Amino acid sequence: MQMSFPNIPVATLGVPRIGRRRELKFALEAYWSGQIEAAELLETARKLRAEKWIEQRDRGVTKIPSNDFSLYDQVLDTVAMVGAVPPRFGWIGGAVSLDTYFTMARGRGEESCGHAGHSQTMTALEMTKWFDTNYHYMVPEFGPDQNFTLSSTKPLDEFLEAKALGIHTRPVIIGPVTFLKLGKCIGEDFDRLALLPRLLPVYAELLAKLHKAGADWVQFDEPCLVTDLEPREREAASFAYGKLAAEVPGVKAMVATYFGGLGDNLETALGLPVAGLHLDLVRAPEQLAPVGRLARKDLVLSLGLIDGRNVWRSDLSSILDRIKSVVAGWTLDRIEIAPSCSLLHVPIDLELETALDGELKSWLAFSVQKMDELRVLARALSEGRDAVANELKASAEAAASRAASPKVHDPLVEGRLSAITEPMRRRRSVFAERRRLQREKLNLPAFPTTTIGSFPQTPEVRKARAAHARGELSYVDYEAFLKRETEAAIRWQEEIGLDVLVHGEFERNDMVQYFGEQLAGFAFTKHAWVQSYGSRCVRPPIIFGDVSRPRPMTVAWWQYAQSLTSRPVKGMLTGPVTILNWSFVRDDLPRAAVCRQIALAIRDEVADLEEAGTSMIQIDEAALREGLPLRKSEWQAYLDWAVECFRLASSGVRDDTQIHTHMCYSEFNDIIEAIAAMDADVISIETSRSRMELLDAFRSYNYPNEIGPGVYDIHSPRVPDVAEMKNLLALARRRLTDGQIWINPDCGLKTRKWEEVRPALVNMVAAARELRAAAA
C-alpha cells in the first residue's frame, strides 16, 4: 500500500472492538461457558488490540486511540477504574478482578452464570442505551457516601502495550461529568455531580501515571455536552477540567463531544481550560462557524466530518467546500480530522461483503473505509486538493452514481408519498364508535387474554432456519416444519383457553429483518455486525432506496394459522418507526420521509391482511421511544412524524378491524399524548416490573382506548403464579376501567423456554377467569 501521511492529524476517536469475525464475542462466550481459560480470552483481546492499532497506523491515522477497547463496555471499565463497584459484589478493594468485572456485567445466579461453584445470586448492573445509539452501557451506581480509588490500570496498561509495539496512542477515557451523569443514585436522590471533588483525584492520579509513561494527549469523552444541561452541570464541567488542568498540567486534554451540537453549552465548552475540543459536524454542521469565531486561537479543533453513525461513503469534495470559508484563515496546527464520533457504531470492513451488489457497495464505507476518507480529507487540507485528486474524483463519482441510480429512486413511491392526504392518517370513526362495532363483531369476554406474538424460538426452530439458510433443508421441508410448529402453537393456545391467538412467529428471524428482507429498498449484509452490548452484536439492515412492498409479507402465514381455529388470530407486523430506528437509514432523505415510505408499505400489508379476513392486526412499535432526540426541544417534531407514520400505516382499515400496538418499555409519562394520538384500539405494554406504576400516566391522562398491561415478566425464567398476576391486575384496576383491560405478558416469548411459557400462560388464563368470576 503506498501511503503518504498528512501533517494534519487524523483521529478515529475509537474503533470497533468485536473483531472482523466477531472473535471477541466468541472468546467471551467460550470463557463464560467455561470452555476456555481467562488467559486465552485475554490473549484474543490483546491480538485484537494490536491488529486495530497497526491497521489504523497503516491507514494513516495519526491520533490512534488506546483504551477504546473493552471486554464488555467502556462505562463498566470506568466503574472498575475508579473503584465504584457496588457493595453487593463483595469487592474489598485492590484491582478489580475479571470475575468481579463480569459479575457486574452479567450478574450471578439465575441463568446468567456459566461458572460452577458460585451459589450467591447477584444482580447485574442495569443496562441502558448509550445516548441515542443502539449500543448499551452498564449503568454505574453511586451512593451519597461514594468513595473512589484508582482500581484498574487498564488505560495505562493499554498505552504501554501499544508503546511496546512502537505505536504512540492517545488514551480515551470517559469524562468525569458524563460518567457521573450516566450513573444512577442508590438510596435517596442526590446530586451526583457533587461527587466530582472525590472523583477527580482518581482521574488526576491516572493522568499523572499516563503522563509519566509518555502520554501527551488524552481524549475525554463528554457527549453529555450535546444534551440539555442545567447551569450547575455546566459549572461542574468547568470545575472538573479546571481542576485536572491544574493538577496534571503536562497532559493535554481533547474533550470529545458528539451525537449532536453543543448548542447552549457552546460557551461552556469553549471556556474549558483544555487543549482540544472535538465537534460533531455531521449532526451539527452549523456549529463550525460560531466555534471558529469564538474559540481561543490556540484551541485545537477536531473536526468530526465523516459520519460515525452511518454506513454511507462521503462526498469528500462537498465536505471540503462546506468547511472552506471557515477554516481558510486557520493555521493548520489548529485542526484535526476525525469522524463525528467513535467508529464503534459502524461495521468494521466493507471488503468482507463479497456478496453485496457492487453498485451499492460503491456507495458504502465502514470503519476502515472511513479511515481512508479521513486521511484524504487531511491531505486535501494540508497539501491541497490536487494531491488527492483521484480520491476526490472517485468519491464524487460514487456520490453522483448514488444520486442518480434507479435502484435508489422509484417514481411510484415518490408519487405515493406526495399523494398522502389527511384522511389517510385518520380512522373513519372515533374510538367509541369503533369499539362498539368491534365488540359486536369479536364478542370477546371481559378481560380478554392474548400474547404479544412470538413463542419460544427453540433450538430446533433455529437449527431448521440455519439448515435452510445453508441450503441443507429445502424450502418445502422448512415450510412444513414451520407449519407443524405453528399448528402445535395454535392447538395449545386453544387448549389452555387464550381468547386471542397468535401464530407464534416461528418463520421470523428478527422482527425487523423479516420485513426488511421482503421490502424493496433494503439490503442485508453478511458480516456487518455492530456491538449492541457485551458480546451481543446486531446486523442492522441498510435502507438504501425508496421503500415499497412488492408482495404480501405475512398474509399466507396468518391465513394458515387462522385456518386451524375459530378463535381470532392476530395479524402481526412491525411498525414503520421501529423498522426505521433499527436500520442504517439513507442520508439523502429526511428520516421522516423514509419512515413515511415504510409506513405506506406496512399500510399495504394491513390492507391485504384485512382483505384476507383478519379482524385484529397488531403493529409493534418497540423502538418508538428510543428514537427520541437527545434535546427535549426536538422531541415534539420527532413524535409528530412518528405518530403520523404509525397512523398512516394503521388507519386504512374498517372501523370493526381492531388495531393493536405493542411497546416494550415502561416510561410513558413524557410521551403519553403521543401514545394516545396513535389511536390504536388496544396497546400492550411492559408493566410487570414496575408493578403497574407506569399506568399512572394513562390514568392521569384519561387514556381512552384499551390497554394490556403486562402481567408476566418475560425477561426472567421465573414462572409467576396466579396470585401474583391477580395482584398486578388488582393494581391495574385501580388505574383503569375494567372495560379497558386486556391481559397479556410484557412482551414476546421468543427468548423463553416452553417449560417456562406453558405454566406461566396457564396461570395467566386462570387469573383472568378468576377475575371475571369476581367482577361479574
| Residue 456 sits in the site that holds ligand GLN (CB under 6 A) | no
- Separation in Å, CA 553 to CA 146, 562, 572: 54, 16, 10
453 binds ligand GLN (CB under 6 A): yes
CB under 5 to 8 A by kind: which of Zn ion, ligand GLN, none does 68 bind?
A: none
Closer of 221 and 620 to ligand GLN (Cβ): 620
Q: With b meaning 16 or more CB within 10 Å and e meaning fewer, what string describes 504-516?
A: bbbbbebbbbbbb
**530 interacts with, out of Zn ion, ligand GLN, none, CB within 5 to 8 A per kind:** none
Q: What is the DSSP letter of 460?
A: H
Using the contact rule CB under 6 A, the part of the chain among 170-178, 223-231, 447-455, 459-467 near ligand GLN is 447-455
Strands 530-533 vs 536-538: parallel, antiparallel or unpaired? antiparallel
Confirm or reject binding of residue 750 to ligand GLN (CB under 6 A): yes
CA dihedral 441, 443, 448, 450 (to 10 degrees): -50
Window contacting ligand GLN (CB under 6 A); options: 87-95, 287-295, 310-318, 742-750: 742-750
* Helix/strand/coil for 547: strand
How far is CA 634 from each of CA 544, 629, 639, rounded to the nearest angstrom?
25, 6, 9
Number of neighbours of residue 275 by Cβ within 10 angstroms: 18
Nearest residue by C-beta to Zn ion? 664
**Closest distance to ligand GLN from the beta carbon of 601 (Å):** 18
Residues 603-642 touching ligand GLN, rule: CB under 6 A, are 620, 622
Q: Among Zn ion, ligand GLN, none, what binds residue 379 when CB lies within 5 to 8 Å by partner kind?
A: none
Q: Which does 454 bind (CB under 5 to 8 A by kind): Zn ion, ligand GLN, none?
A: ligand GLN
Q: What is the Cα–Cα distance from 326 to 194, expressed in whole angstroms?
A: 39
- Closer Cβ to Zn ion, 553 or 664, answer by number: 664
Kindly tell me which of 233 and 620 has the beta carbon lying closer to ligand GLN: 620
Question: Parallel, antiparallel, or unpaired for β 300-306 and 335-339?
Answer: parallel
- 709 near ligand GLN (CB under 6 A): no
Q: Which is nearer to Zn ion, 240 or 577 (CB)?
A: 577
* Pairing label, strands 584-585, 616-620: unpaired
Binding partner at 682 among ligand GLN, Zn ion, none, C-beta below 5 to 8 Å by kind: none
Segment interacting with ligand GLN, rule: CB under 6 A, options 278-286, 392-400, 442-450, 746-754: 746-754
- The span of 47-55, 161-169, 672-680, 743-751 binding ligand GLN (CB under 6 A) equals 743-751
- Closest-approach residue to ligand GLN (CB): 748
State in angstroms the smallest separation of the CB of 574 from ligand GLN.
7
Q: Which of 511, 512, 714, 768 binds ligand GLN (CB under 6 A)?
A: 511
Instruction: Candidates 144-152, 173-181, 397-405, 451-459: pick the segment binding ligand GLN (CB under 6 A).
Output: 451-459
Cβ-contact 77, 14 below 8 angstroms? no
State the residues that interact with Zn ion by CB under 5 A: 664, 747
Most distant CA pair in the chain, distance: 83
Task: Name the burial class of residue 398, with classes exposed (0-12), middle (13-18) and buried (19+) by CB atoms within 10 angstroms of its CB.
Answer: buried
Q: Which stretch binds ligand GLN (CB under 6 A): 62-70, 97-105, 446-454, 604-612?
A: 446-454
CB-nearer residue toward Zn ion: 262 or 747: 747
**How far apart are CB 449 and Zn ion at their closest, in Å?**
17
Smallest separation, CB 287 to ligand GLN (Å): 36
Closer CB to Zn ion, residue 237 or residue 622? 622
Contact 510, 461 (CB under 8 A): no
- Rounded to a whole number of angstroms, the minimum distance from the CB of residue 60 to ligand GLN is 42
The nearer residue to ligand GLN, 238 or 532, going by C-beta atoms, is 532
Residue whose CB is less far from Zn ion, 240 or 760: 760
Find which of Zn ion, ligand GLN, none residue 614 binds, CB within 5 to 8 Å per kind.
Answer: none
Closest CA to 729 of 704, 766, 692: 692
* Pick 52 or 750: Cβ nearer ligand GLN: 750
CB nearer to ligand GLN: give 527 or 750. Answer: 750
Q: Which of 452, 692, 694, 741 binds ligand GLN (CB under 6 A)?
A: 452
Round to whole Å and give the CA distance between 574 and 518: 13
Residue among 260 and 453 whose Cβ is closer to ligand GLN: 453
Burial class (CB in 10 A: 0-12, 13-18, 19+), 657: buried
Beta-strand pair 584-585/300-306:
unpaired
Long-range contacts of 685-688 (CB under 8 A, 24+ apart): 685/709, 685/710, 685/746, 686/710, 686/746, 686/747, 687/711, 687/728, 687/732, 687/746, 688/712, 688/713, 688/720, 688/728, 688/745, 688/746
Cell (9 digits) for 431: 374510538
664 binds ligand GLN (CB under 6 A): yes
The single residue among 62, 257, 314, 454 that binds ligand GLN, judged by CB under 6 A, is 454
| 604: partner contacted, choices Zn ion, ligand GLN, none (Cβ within 5-8 A by kind) | none
Q: Minimum Å distance from CB 725 to Zn ion?
A: 18
Q: Using CB under 6 A, which residues numbered 560 to 599 contact ligand GLN?
A: 572
Q: Are strands 217-221 and 300-306 parallel, antiparallel or unpaired?
A: unpaired
Pick the binder of ligand GLN from 113, 489, 747, 771 (CB under 6 A).
Answer: 747
Report which secondary-structure segment, H or E, holds 137. strand 136-138
Query: Shortest distance, CB of residue 652 to ligand GLN, whole angstroms?
Result: 21
Tell me the one-letter amino acid at 30: A
Residue of 115, 118, 409, 715 with catalytic role: 715
Quickly list DSSP for 284-342.
Answer: -GGGHHHHHHHS-TT-EEEEEEE-SSS-BPP-HHHHHHHHHHHHTTS-GGGEEEEESS-
H-run or E-run covering 277: strand 276-280
Report, in Å, the least distance between residue 622 CB and ligand GLN: 4
**In a 10 Å sphere around its CB, with 0-12 CB exposed, 13-18 middle and 19+ buried, how is residue 547 labelled?**
buried
Instruction: Say whether 115 is catalytic.
Output: no
Residue type, 7: N
- Which residues are catalytic, by number? 715
What residues line the site for ligand GLN (CB under 6 A)?
452-454, 505, 511, 572, 620, 622, 662, 664, 747-748, 750
